[in-house]
Chains A and B, each alone.
Chain A
Amino acid sequence: MKPPPFDYARPESLEEALDLLARHGDEAKLLAGGQSLMAMLNFRLLAPAILVDINRLDRLAGIEEGDGRLSIGALTRHHALETSDLVAERLPVLHAAMGHVAHLAIRNRGTVGGSLAHADPAAELPAMMCLLDATLRVAGPAGTREISVHDFFTGALETALGDDEILLGIDLPSLPPGTAWGFEEFSRRAGDFALAGVAVLVEPTGAVRLALLGVDETPVRARAAEAELARGALSDAAVGQAVEALRAEISPLDDLHAGADYRRHLAGVLTTRALAAARARLA
Chain B
Amino acid sequence: MSETQRPKSVGARVQRLEDPRLLAGRGRFTDDHRAPDTLHLAFRRSEEAHARILAIDTATAAAMPGVVAVFTAADLAGEIRPVRAESRMRDYYATEFVALATNKVRYVGEAIAVVAAESRYLAEDAAAEIEVDFESLPPLGDTDAALAEGAALLHEEAASNVIARREFARGEVEEAFFAAPHRVGGRFRMHRKTPAAIENRAYRAEFDPGRGHLTVHSATQVPGLIRDALAEILDLPGSRLRVVAGDVGGGFGGKASLYPEEVVVAALARRLEATVKWTGDRLEDLTTTSQAFDEVVEAELAFDGAGRLLGLTAEVVGDVGAYSIYPWTASLEPVQVISFLPGPYRLPAYRGAVRAVATNKPPMGPYRGVGRPVSVFVMERLIDMAASKLGLDPVEMRRRNLVAADEFPYRAGSGLMWDRSGFHECLEAAVAEIDYAGRRAAQSAGPGADGRLIGIGVASYAELTGIGSRISAAPGMPINTGTETATIQLDSTGAVRAAFGIASHGQGLETTLAQVIADELGVAPDAVEIVQGDSAAVPHGTGTYASRSTVLAGGAAILSARGLRERIVQVAALLFEAAADDVEITDGIVAVAGTDRRMSFRELAKAFYSEMGRLPREVRDELALEVTRVYDPFFGTTTSATHIAVVAVDPETCEVEVLDYAVAEDCGRVINPAIVDGQVHGGVAQGIGAALFEEVRHDADGQCLTGSFVDYVVPSAAEIPAISVTHVESVLPATEGGFRGMGEGGTIGATGAIANAVTDALRPLDIDIMELPVTPERLFRLIQNAKINAKTKERDET
B-binding residues in A (CB < 8 A): 1-5, 39, 43-44, 186, 188-193, 195, 256-259, 261-262, 265-266, 269-270
Contact pick for A256, options B281, B711, B718, B780, CB 8 Å: B711
- In whole Å, how far is A273's beta carbon from the nearest beta carbon of chain B? 8
Chain B residues numbered 102-153 whose CB sits less than 8 Å from any CB in chain A: 120-121, 124-125, 128
* A259 nearest in chain B by CB position: B777
Chain B residues numbered 697-720 whose CB sits less than 8 Å from any CB in chain A: 697, 705-706, 708, 710-711, 713, 715-716, 718-719
* B653 nearest in chain A by CB position: A186
Q: List the A side residues contacting B713 at CB < 8 Å.
A: 188-189, 192, 257
Q: Known contacts A3-B121, A190-B716; can you find 17 more A-B pairs with CB under 8 A? A: A2-B120, A2-B124, A43-B283, A43-B708, A189-B715, A191-B716, A191-B718, A193-B710, A256-B697, A257-B775, A257-B777, A258-B776, A258-B777, A261-B784, A262-B776, A262-B780, A269-B652
Contact pick for B653, options A1, A189, A191, A269, CB 8 Å: A269
- In whole Å, how far is B432's beta carbon from the nearest beta carbon of chain A? 32
Query: If the complex has contacts A188-B776, A189-B716, A257-B777, are A2 and B654 also in contact, measured as CB distance less than 8 A?
Result: no
Contact pick for B655, options A2, A5, A186, A192, CB 8 Å: A186
Determine whether the beta carbon of A44 is less than 8 Å from that of B776: no
* B123 nearest in chain A by CB position: A2
Query: If the complex has contacts A189-B718, A190-B718, are A266 and B705 also in contact, measured as CB distance less than 8 A?
Result: no
* A269 nearest in chain B by CB position: B652
Determine whether the beta carbon of B283 is less than 8 Å from that of A1: yes
Determine which residue in B708, B710, B775, B776 has the highest number of CB atoms from chain A within 10 A of its CB, and name it. Answer: B776
Determine whether the beta carbon of B283 is less than 8 Å from that of A195: no
Q: List the B side residues contacting A191 at CB < 8 Å.
A: 716, 718
Determine whether the beta carbon of A2 is less than 8 Å from that of B121: yes
Provide the bound-state CA to CA distance between A70 and B719, in Å.
36
Provide the bound-state CA to CA distance between A45 and B79, in Å.
36
Determine whether the beta carbon of A256 is less than 8 Å from that of B654: no
Q: List 5 A-B residue pairs with CB atoms under 8 Å apart, sorted by A's residue number.
A: A186-B776, A190-B719, A192-B713, A261-B780, A262-B777
Q: List the A side residues contacting B719 at CB < 8 Å.
A: 189-190
Q: Which 5 A-B residue pairs are closest in the complex by CB-CB distance?
A: A190-B718, A1-B281, A262-B780, A269-B652, A2-B121
Q: List the B side residues contacting A3 at CB < 8 Å.
A: 121
Determine whether the beta carbon of A265 is less than 8 Å from that of B780: yes
Chain B residues numbered 414-450 whose CB sits less than 8 Å from any CB in chain A: none
Size of the chain B interface, CB-CB below 8 angstroms: 31
| Residue B84, interface by CB 8 Å | no
- In whole Å, how far is B735's beta carbon from the nearest beta carbon of chain A? 40
| Residue B282, interface by CB 8 Å | yes
Q: List the A side residues contacting B715 at CB < 8 Å.
A: 189
Determine which residue in A43, A44, A266 has the highest number of CB atoms from chain B within 10 A of its CB, and name it. Answer: A266
Chain B residues numbered 239-285 whose CB sits less than 8 Å from any CB in chain A: 281-284
| Residue B340, interface by CB 8 Å | no
Provide the bound-state CA to CA distance between A43 and B128, in Å.
12
Q: List the B side residues contacting A192 at CB < 8 Å.
A: 710, 713
Q: List the A side residues contacting B784 at CB < 8 Å.
A: 261
Determine which residue in A4, A189, A259 has the highest number of CB atoms from chain B within 10 A of its CB, and name it. Answer: A189
Provide the bound-state CA to CA distance between A1 and B711, in Å.
16
Provide the bound-state CA to CA distance between A265 and B715, in Å.
24
Provide the bound-state CA to CA distance between A47 and B719, in Å.
36
- In whole Å, how far is A179's beta carbon from the nearest beta carbon of chain B? 26
- In whole Å, how far is B656's beta carbon from the nearest beta carbon of chain A? 10
Q: List the A side residues contacting B125 at CB < 8 Å.
A: 4-5
Q: List the B side residues contacting A261 at CB < 8 Å.
A: 780, 784
Determine which residue in B124, B281, B777 has the highest number of CB atoms from chain A within 10 A of its CB, and name it. Answer: B777
Determine whether the beta carbon of B283 is less than 8 Å from that of A256: no
Contact pick for A266, options B121, B128, B653, B781, CB 8 Å: B653
Provide the bound-state CA to CA distance between A188 and B773, in Å.
13
* A266 nearest in chain B by CB position: B653
Determine whether the beta carbon of B776 is less than 8 Å from that of A195: yes
Determine which residue in A5, A188, A257 has the highest number of CB atoms from chain B within 10 A of its CB, and name it. Answer: A188
* B692 nearest in chain A by CB position: A188
The contact string, 1 if C-beta is below 8 Å from chain A, for chain B 769-782, is: 00000011100110
Query: If the complex has contacts A2-B121, A189-B713, are A256 and B655 also in contact, measured as CB distance less than 8 A?
Result: no
| Residue B693, interface by CB 8 Å | yes
Determine whether the beta carbon of B128 is less than 8 Å from that of A44: yes
- In whole Å, how far is A37's beta carbon from the nearest beta carbon of chain B? 15
Q: List the B side residues contacting A193 at CB < 8 Å.
A: 710
Determine whether the beta carbon of B282 is less than 8 Å from that of A1: yes
Provide the bound-state CA to CA distance between A266 and B652, in Å.
8
* A268 nearest in chain B by CB position: B652
Q: List the A side residues contacting B776 at CB < 8 Å.
A: 186, 188, 195, 257-258, 262
Provide the bound-state CA to CA distance between A193 and B710, in Å.
9
Provide the bound-state CA to CA distance between A193 and B655, in Å.
15
- In whole Å, how far is A21's beta carbon from the nearest beta carbon of chain B? 26
- In whole Å, how far is B528's beta carbon from the nearest beta carbon of chain A? 38
Q: List the A side residues contacting B120 at CB < 8 Å.
A: 2
- In whole Å, how far is A85's beta carbon from the nearest beta carbon of chain B? 26
Contact pick for A262, options B124, B654, B705, CB 8 Å: B654
Q: List the B side residues contacting A188 at CB < 8 Å.
A: 693, 713, 775-776
Determine which residue in B281, B284, B652, B719 has the highest number of CB atoms from chain A within 10 A of its CB, and name it. Answer: B652
- In whole Å, how far is A42's beta carbon from the nearest beta carbon of chain B? 8
Q: List the A side residues contacting B128 at CB < 8 Å.
A: 4, 44
Provide the bound-state CA to CA distance between A266 and B780, in Å.
10
Q: List the A side residues contacting B121 at CB < 8 Å.
A: 2-3, 5
Provide the bound-state CA to CA distance between A5 and B120, in Å.
12
Provide the bound-state CA to CA distance between A193 and B708, in Å.
14
- In whole Å, how far is B691's beta carbon from the nearest beta carbon of chain A? 14
Provide the bound-state CA to CA distance between A269 and B706, in Å.
28
- In whole Å, how far is B603's beta carbon from the nearest beta carbon of chain A? 53
Chain B residues numbered 723-764 whose CB sits less than 8 Å from any CB in chain A: none
Provide the bound-state CA to CA distance between A191 and B705, in Å.
21
Q: List the B side residues contacting A266 at CB < 8 Å.
A: 653
Q: List the B side residues contacting A257 at CB < 8 Å.
A: 711, 713, 775-777
Q: List the B side residues contacting A186 at CB < 8 Å.
A: 653, 655, 776
* B119 nearest in chain A by CB position: A2
* A270 nearest in chain B by CB position: B653
Q: List the B side residues contacting A190 at CB < 8 Å.
A: 716, 718-719
* A255 nearest in chain B by CB position: B711
- In whole Å, how far is B39's beta carbon from the nearest beta carbon of chain A? 16
Determine which residue in B121, B780, B784 has the highest number of CB atoms from chain A within 10 A of its CB, and name it. Answer: B780
Q: List the B side residues contacting A5 at CB < 8 Å.
A: 121, 125
- In whole Å, how far is A49's beta carbon from the nearest beta carbon of chain B? 14
The contact string, 1 if C-beta is below 8 Å from chain A, for chain B 325-359, is: 00000000000000000000000000000000000
Provide the bound-state CA to CA distance between A262 and B781, in Å.
8
The contact string, 1 if C-beta is below 8 Å from chain A, for chain B 271-309, is: 000000000011110000000000000000000000000
Q: List the A side residues contacting B710 at CB < 8 Å.
A: 192-193
- In whole Å, how far is B775's beta carbon from the nearest beta carbon of chain A? 8
* B651 nearest in chain A by CB position: A269
Q: List the A side residues contacting B652 at CB < 8 Å.
A: 269
Provide the bound-state CA to CA distance between A257 and B692, in Å.
12
Provide the bound-state CA to CA distance between A73 and B68, in Å.
48
Provide the bound-state CA to CA distance between A259 and B283, in Å.
24
Provide the bound-state CA to CA distance between A114 and B784, in Å.
38
Q: List the A side residues contacting B697 at CB < 8 Å.
A: 256
- In whole Å, how far is A44's beta carbon from the nearest beta carbon of chain B? 7
Provide the bound-state CA to CA distance between A195 and B776, in Å.
10
Provide the bound-state CA to CA distance between A261 and B654, in Å.
13
- In whole Å, how far is A228's beta carbon from the nearest beta carbon of chain B? 20
Q: List the A side residues contacting B711 at CB < 8 Å.
A: 256-257
Determine which residue in A43, A193, A262, A269 has the highest number of CB atoms from chain B within 10 A of its CB, and name it. Answer: A262
Determine whether the beta carbon of A256 is less than 8 Å from that of B653: no
- In whole Å, how far is A211's beta carbon from the nearest beta carbon of chain B? 19
